[in-house]
Amino acid sequence: MSEKFSATLRIGDLNDYIAPSQGCVVSLKSNSNSNNTSSSSSSSSRLDKFHAEKLGKLGTAVKPVETEPVKISLKDCLACSGCITSAETVMLEKQSLDEFLSNINKGKSVVVSVSPQSRASLAAHFGLSPLQVFRKLTTLFKSLGVNAIFDTSCSRDLTLIESCNEFVTRYKQCHSTTDEKPKSPLPMISSACPGWICYAEKTLGSYILPYISSVKSPQQTIGAVIKNHICQMLCLRPEDMYHVTVMPCYDKKLEAVRDDFAFQVEPQGEKISEVDSVLTTGELLDLIQSKSIDFESLEEAPLDKLLTNVDEGGHLYGVHGSSGGYADTIFRYAGKILFGKDIVGPLDFKTIRNSDFREVALEVEGKTVLKFALCYGFRNLQNVVRKIKSGKCEYQFLEIMACPSGCLNGGGQIKPKTGESAKDLIQSLESKYMENVFVADPFENPVIRGIYAEWLNQPGSEKAKKHMHTEYHPIVKSITSQLQNW
């Protein structure tokens, strides 16, 4: 695999991530009429060999299982170390620069949504501010034929508002005086990290899924807004809109192709994806370099304000927290709504086990009433999961990210320069992330207020649940995996 792929997706170097050699979850009972479009002869031969070895040990009376070649598409991959991830072509079939550039020439309206983590990575690489990077990217994309460039900081505010509403609802249900057991228990766990979601669905099963927030990630919420609301505003058919996101993480490609994030306008119509393609920050740098673009010298174009956190003075605004600010924002909101406490200034997150596990608490009359934690990296994640399973988790909310140091350290980010350590790069990204970015309350975001007024009505409404929320599912492992565990 290419070294650009995150450790979550690589076969042999999983280190702090999912354990190596987990069995593939794709069933061996391949349907010849399957809609899956990609196959791997190497994976088929590997599975045949595996069956011969495993079944041979059970006794000579057992006959080998006859199977057809397994057909696998990108949507089947769950970031494991099995046969799916052995071919880059499977991962990048419809998630590549070539696919992006070809769609610009197909007459569709092309929209690109850029993440703040990707802007920070480019800013550190080129020695610019995130605002300069965003304006230069607007110039670059529009020169290629892109119609509009948006900002996932904007959709993140929408995600945060829905998450705040969900947490308060869960908290009240869990502290209700009735004997009825809440369907959505605490702690509530953030759902923005697809690497964590893949791990939870595949490895942890149904016992952990009720704790995970139902709110979609900023990538998917901006996709839902564009395909369901903006298209209607602009009198465009959703199928005529091609939506690309720029993300710090290869796992976002897996998230974009989930069946849960596709919809039908008509009962028998084609399925439309909220996000058609995902480019990583590194792939965007490849595009800049392949076209010999002097990025630092590009003009700075005005930003598209339709779905962007930019004020009238042209300044960016957002929230604290380089991995989305979920714990920070929900903690402040819950303190105010549940306990009447206005929390001002930076939160005092205390390091517990290591720099990737920190917690913050709210005390009222000498009693701890709220306790939240930031939990990054799979080592910390697994410790927390064990506590939840045993009923000993002391937190009401967990901001979980698969990557150590969070989203700024995503596998799709630009790698350190020669002589630069990974630690130095992360520190540089942390300082760049909020450079010239004003801290603002998501609930005061005029763009998001407009979306609720024109479309979603209010946080937690039926329309919001339909478009901004989702469900997660335990994945049944294949015969191969079960035999391997046996």
48 or 389, which is more confident: 389
Residue 295 shares a structural domain with residue 258: yes
Output the domain CATH number for residue 450.
3.40.50.1780
Cβ neighbour number for residue 157 with a 10 Å cutoff: 29
**Residue 244, token pair as written in the block:** 């690309």
pLDDT band of 183, cuts 50, 70, 90: confident
Residue 33 and residue 218: Cα distance in Å, rounded?
35
250 belongs to a structural domain: yes
Q: If you compute the radius of gyration of the chain from its CA atoms, what whole number of angstroms results?
A: 23
Q: Which residues on adjacent β-strands are paired with residue 439?
A: 318
66 belongs to a structural domain: yes
Residue-level pLDDT at 28: 44
26 belongs to a structural domain: no
pLDDT average, residue stretch 79-107: 64
How much is the pTM? Answer: 0.83
Residue 248 shares a structural domain with residue 146: yes
**CB distance 296 to 246 below 8 Å:** no
343 belongs to a structural domain: yes
Percentages (nearest 5) of helix, strand, coil residues in the chain:
45, 15, 45
473 belongs to a structural domain: no
118 belongs to a structural domain: yes
Give the model confidence (pLDDT) of 190-239 as tens digits.
999 999 998 999 888 789 999 999 999 999 999 999 999 999 999 999 99
pLDDT band of 480, cuts 50, 70, 90: low
20 belongs to a structural domain: no
pLDDT band of 73, cuts 50, 70, 90: low
Virtual CA dihedral for 32, 36, 38, 41, nearest 10 degrees? -40
Percent of the residues in the chain that have a pLDDT greater than 90, as a whole number: 68
pLDDT average, residue stretch 291-298: 96
Residue-level pLDDT at 69: 55
pLDDT average, residue stretch 74-84: 46
Residue 86 and residue 200: Cα distance in Å, rounded?
22
Output the domain CATH number for residue 350.
3.40.950.10
**CB distance 329 to 319 below 8 Å:** yes
The DSSP secondary structure of 294-360, one letter per residue, reads -GGGS--PPPP-TT--B-TTS-EEE-S-TT--HHHHHHHHHHHHHH-----S---PEESSSTTEEEE
Contacts of 345 (CB under 8 A, 6+ apart): none
Residue 274 and residue 262: Cα distance in Å, rounded?
6
Residue-level pLDDT at 234: 92
The DSSP secondary structure of 141-154, one letter per residue, reads HHHHT--EEEEHHH
pLDDT average, residue stretch 412-428: 94
**CB distance 433 to 131 below 8 Å:** no
Start-to-end Cα distance in the chain = 29
Give the model confidence (pLDDT) of 340-376 as tens digits.
999 999 999 999 989 999 999 999 999 999 999 999 9
Residue 208 and residue 184: Cα distance in Å, rounded?
11
Residue 309 shares a structural domain with residue 231: yes
Residue 191 shares a structural domain with residue 324: yes
Residue-level pLDDT at 478: 55
Residue 225 shares a structural domain with residue 79: no
Residue 102 shares a structural domain with residue 136: yes
pLDDT band of 98, cuts 50, 70, 90: confident
Is residue 34 predicted with pLDDT exceeding 50? no
User: How does 446-463 read in b/e, with b if 16+ C-beta sit within 10 Å?
Assistant: ebbeebbeebbeebbbee
**CB distance 436 to 129 below 8 Å:** yes
What's the mean per-residue pLDDT of the chain? 84
Domains in the chain, number: 3
**Residue 10, token pair as written in the block:** 């690589």
Element (DSSP H or E) covering residue 162 = helix 152-174
Residue 68 shares a structural domain with residue 113: no
The alpha carbon dihedral of 98, 194, 231, 150 has a sign of: negative
Can you state the angle between helices 116-126 and 281-290, rounded to 10 degrees?
50
Is residue 107 predicted with pLDDT exceeding 60? yes
Residue 268 shares a structural domain with residue 324: no
Residue-level pLDDT at 15: 38
Q: Which of 329, 234, 216 is nearest to 275 (CA)?
A: 216
115 or 105, which is more confident: 115
**Residue 180, token pair as written in the block:** 């009825």
**Any idea which residue has 């994640």 for tokens?**
381
Residue-level pLDDT at 269: 81
Is residue 406 predicted with pLDDT exceeding 60? yes
Burial label for 28, CB within 10 Å (0-12, 13-18, 19+), is middle
Residue 141 and residue 130: Cα distance in Å, rounded?
16
Contacts of 167 (CB under 8 A, 6+ apart): 188, 213, 330, 333, 334, 396, 397
334 or 12, which is more confident: 334
Residue-level pLDDT at 41: 42
Residue 375 shares a structural domain with residue 303: no
Q: Which residues on adjacent β-strands are paired with residue 242?
A: 110
Cα 204 to Cα 325, 406, 434, distances in angstroms:
25, 21, 35
**CB distance 364 to 447 below 8 Å:** no
Give the model confidence (pLDDT) of 256-292 as tens digits.
989 999 998 888 888 999 999 999 999 999 999 999 9
pLDDT average, residue stretch 308-336: 96
Residue-level pLDDT at 1: 41
**Residue 333, token pair as written in the block:** 């909101």
The residue segments making up the domain with residue 178 are 160-216+320-411+419-443
pLDDT band of 95, cuts 50, 70, 90: confident
Most confident range (mean pLDDT) of 25-39, 176-190, 348-362 is: 348-362
Give the model confidence (pLDDT) of 455-479 as tens digits.
999 999 999 999 999 999 988 765 5
Residue 205 shares a structural domain with residue 73: no
pLDDT average, residue stretch 294-302: 97
Compute the residue count for the chain: 486
164 or 51, which is more confident: 164
180 belongs to a structural domain: yes
Residue 277 shares a structural domain with residue 366: no
Percent of the residues in the chain that have a pLDDT greater than 70, as a whole number: 78
Residue 273 shares a structural domain with residue 292: yes
